[in-house]
Every structure is written in C-alpha cells, then in structure tokens.
Homo-oligomer: A and B are copies of this chain.
C-alpha cells in the first residue's frame, strides 16, 4: 500500500479522456506531489493507496479545473461600466480605463480571481501590457497562469476616421523587450504553473517588421503567439488600407497562421476565413459573452471547428463581458451558436465542456500537463455539488444528465472545491489562498477614486450611459 498526499473519491468523474467526456462511475484518484498517480475504480485505489486526506462525498462530480484562455483580469475593477453602448472601447470603457493605475489593475486581477476560482477556473491566460505586475498575486493565489505581454507599436492617440495609425518602432522594441524579460523570468516556473506566450496586440497595431521579429523570437523560445485576430472592422479597415488584404489573408501571407498561433476572437471573420485559420493549424479562443455584449456578434467558431480547428473559451474582461465565469461562457457559446445556425443540435453540451477543459489545454499547449484527469497529469480539478437545486435531480439511465446540467443549468456557485497541482485553493465557500474581504475592500476603494477621476471625461464624451444616468435608467 502506497502512501500518497490525497485520495479523491466520487460517484461521478468526468475525466475528459478520449473523444467524449470520459465518464467514470465510482472511481477514485490518488494524488501525490501535485500529480495524479492513480485513477481507477474506488476499490482498487483504496486497496493500493492510503492518504491522510481523503475527499469523498456521495453527491459530487469531479472534473478537470476550467481553462480561461483569454483574460484581461486587471479590468475587473471596472465591472459594469461599459455595457449597452456602441463604440465600446471609446465611449464605454474609455473614460474609465485611461484612469487605471498599476495598483488598480492588481486589485482588479484579484477580484477576477475571486470570481473565477469560485466558478471553477484553475488556469488563467492573462493578456496585458504589464502582466509582470500581476505575477506575484497569481503566485500567491496558487492558480495556474499563462502570461502574454501586449506587443504594440502603434502610438496611443485619437485617430481621425480613416487615418492610418502611426508607428513608433521604439514602442514596439520596448514591449518586445518586456515580453522577452517576462519569458526569461517566469516561463515554466512555479512547478511549471507559469508559462509565457508572445502577444502582438493585433495585426493593425504592429508593423510587419516587428511581427516577423516576434515570430522569430517565439520560434527561438519554443512558445506560442497569443494574438487578437480580425477582432473588428477597425482592424480590417487598417489592414486593407495598408496592404490591400484583410487581416487573416495578411497574416497568412507573412506566415503567421500555423500551429504556433492562438488566434483570439475572429469577430470580423467570415466562415471561410475562420476555416482557413483552422486549416493552417492555428488554434482559436472564442469569447462569447464579451463579443456578444460589445459587438452583438457570434464569432465563427463552428466553422472553425468544422474545418478541424481546436477552440478554447475565454472570458476577456469584466467591463465588456461582465463575468469571469466559464459556466457562463459554456452556456453562451452553446446557445449563441445554436442561434447563429438556427439549429438546436449545434454545439452540444459535451463539446463546450471539452472546450473548457481538454481542448482549452491543447490550445494553450498545456494538454501534456492538464485538461483531463489521468495518471501523470497535474492534479488541477474541481468538485461540483450534485445536490444543489440547479444540478438536481441526477439521472444515470437511460441518459446521464450531469453534463447538460453543468452547461445549461449550473451558475458556478455549485463548485465546492478547487485544487491546482493537488493543492486545495477553495473549499466550501472559503478561499485558502486569497483574502476575500481584503480584496473586496481594496476594489471598492479603487472604484471610489476611479469614479471621481473619470467624471470629467465621462461627461465630456456624453455617451449612452451618461444619457441613461440623466434619464434615471441606471
């Protein structure tokens, strides 16, 4: 009998192994030094292993922790300030985002973690200009994190309609240097929980010369390129004006569409363009909630998958999406795509659950470590309460309803336990690694200051939400 750190037993496991959800009844999982060392029927595990900590509950389903493949966590301090408005970036987010300090972003990232971990997220793929400011809090939280530094060469200023962006090569060089520095300091650190990717903001914000430098650097480093791709008509306009090609065609011409690319959004891509990205071997992240609110658009993820592409889910940011909750993304991705194709069989529950777990892991190049529950993988897992009203009743036969209920019914608060590398970070409503009250307090303090600082610009812009305030609609 071998001594291990922990044994997790449950009536239902969704291992996500194989082509479906890898369902196993009455199994148990032995965990040692952060790894899954045994996954077998419970009797076999309890015969072969013993542990001081045994987690065993008759009303739980255990599955891999969720992978949120595209987040700007720092913006959670601006939750709820930019919905229901056209030109979201300029008229909605603009007055507030320009006031954000690095400290505000640290507060926001912690708030995003509170929300996301409560709802079962264990892997955070953070995309921002200075993710190095956030590494320490991700480390202390004990979550798995993938960091991408925004590489951008276009000068930040207001451009007239139709005007091409100005490029300042020194900005590009500086952001690439930040990216390389982060890579060398953090990639594959924290027992491998931290990884780093390279992140051109989008094709319109970076010159071709710099794009090719980033590509060469990523090849040399052996890591992926995480990039917004054809994310809106503004990007398309810039590329067409600059070189006569739409962004995806342009990226194809310069050799960017390959297995190394994680292409985010594809908001302005048609089905054929999405299929081309998939056929070239690139992966996709679909941010259904965010793009639904910001643009009223359902990205072509179905066409992307039908062309053989692997797609992950992302929550993007709270002032757009308003949530960092992968249950929300699973349901919205399933429903939005049924609506886009006017077909209730489109994007079934098991498919979006795979996108949130094993396929998400593959998109980030982490499927050798996480994404399913199997011997040799890291023990990133969650346990969900099947006695919660939203998960009740449980049918085993003739059809099992656990997966449809996880996707279409669960709200996130059914998650009872969250573990990363075998360490429990959240259990029965309590965080082991985050001080919830302190995080709430610091976010409220930040908001009180940010509101005051944003006032003048908010009034000057006088957008939809300013009108709603006058009309007593907020």
Is A85 interfacial (CB 8 A cutoff)? yes
Is A395 interfacial (CB 8 A cutoff)? yes
Contact across chains for B458 and A339 when beta carbons are under 8 A apart: no
Q: Give which listed residue, B84, B115, B402, contacts A404 with CB less than 8 A.
A: B84
Contact across chains for A344 and B85 when beta carbons are under 8 A apart: yes
Question: Could you give, for residues 258-296 of chain A, a 1 whenever the CB lies within 8 Å of some chain B CB and a 0 otherwise?
Answer: 000000000000000000000000000000010011111
Q: Nearest Cβ in chain B — how far from A346, in angstroms?
A: 7
Contact across chains for B81 and A401 when beta carbons are under 8 A apart: yes
Contact across chains for B20 and A408 when beta carbons are under 8 A apart: no
Is A202 interfacial (CB 8 A cutoff)? no
Is A430 interfacial (CB 8 A cutoff)? no
**Chain B contacts for A114, CB-based, 8 A:** 389
**Chain B contacts for A79, CB-based, 8 A:** 392-393, 401, 405, 409
Contact across chains for B399 and A466 when beta carbons are under 8 A apart: yes
For the complex, what is the distance from the CA of A18 to the CA of B268, rounded to whole Å? Answer: 40
Q: Nearest Cβ in chain B — how far from A138, in angstroms?
A: 17
With A80-B401, A350-B473 as given contacts, are A408 and B322 in contact (CB-CB < 8 Å)?
yes
Is A165 interfacial (CB 8 A cutoff)? no
Is A394 interfacial (CB 8 A cutoff)? yes
Is A348 interfacial (CB 8 A cutoff)? yes
Question: Which of A204-212, A362-370, A444-452 lies at the binding interface?
Answer: A444-452
Could you say which of A95, A389, A412 has the most chain B C-beta atoms within 10 Å of its C-beta? A389
Question: Which of A156-164, A181-189, A330-338 lies at the binding interface?
Answer: A330-338
**Chain B contacts for A19, CB-based, 8 A:** 471-473
**Chain B contacts for A81, CB-based, 8 A:** 395, 399, 401, 404
For the complex, what is the distance from the CA of A472 to the CA of B336, rounded to whole Å? Answer: 24
Which residue of chain B has its CB nearest to the CB of A454?
B398
Contact across chains for B405 and A322 when beta carbons are under 8 A apart: yes
Contact across chains for A21 and B474 when beta carbons are under 8 A apart: yes
**Chain B contacts for A395, CB-based, 8 A:** 80-81, 447, 450-451
For the complex, what is the distance from the CA of A292 to the CA of B338, rounded to whole Å? Answer: 7
For the complex, what is the distance from the CA of A79 to the CA of B403, rounded to whole Å? Answer: 11
**Chain B contacts for A474, CB-based, 8 A:** 20-21, 23, 350, 399-404
Q: Give which listed residue, B296, B328, B454, contacts A346 with CB less than 8 A.
A: B296
For the complex, what is the distance from the CA of A14 to the CA of B321, rounded to whole Å? Answer: 23
Is A378 interfacial (CB 8 A cutoff)? no
Chain A, range 423-455, C-beta contacts under 8 Å to B: 436, 440, 443-444, 446-447, 450-452, 454-455
Q: Give which listed residue, B296, B328, B447, contacts A343 with CB less than 8 A.
A: B296
Question: Could you give, for residues 310-339 of chain A, a 1 whenever the CB lies within 8 Å of some chain B CB and a 0 otherwise?
Answer: 000000001001110100100010111011
For the complex, what is the distance from the CA of A176 to the CA of B283, rounded to whole Å? Answer: 58
Could you say which of A335, A343, A407, A446 has the most chain B C-beta atoms within 10 Å of its C-beta? A335
With A318-B409, A392-B443, A443-B392 as given contacts, are A344 and B397 in contact (CB-CB < 8 Å)?
no
Is A218 interfacial (CB 8 A cutoff)? no
**Chain B contacts for A336, CB-based, 8 A:** 335, 339
Which residue of chain B has its CB nearest to the CB of A474?
B400
Contact across chains for A409 and B459 when beta carbons are under 8 A apart: no
**Chain B contacts for A344, CB-based, 8 A:** 83-86, 88, 293-296
Chain A, range 340-396, C-beta contacts under 8 Å to B: 340-346, 348-350, 387, 389-390, 392-396
CB-defined A-B contacts under 8 Å, sample of 14 = A19-B471, A20-B472, A79-B405, A80-B405, A83-B349, A86-B343, A296-B338, A296-B344, A298-B339, A323-B408, A394-B444, A398-B469, A403-B473, A413-B413
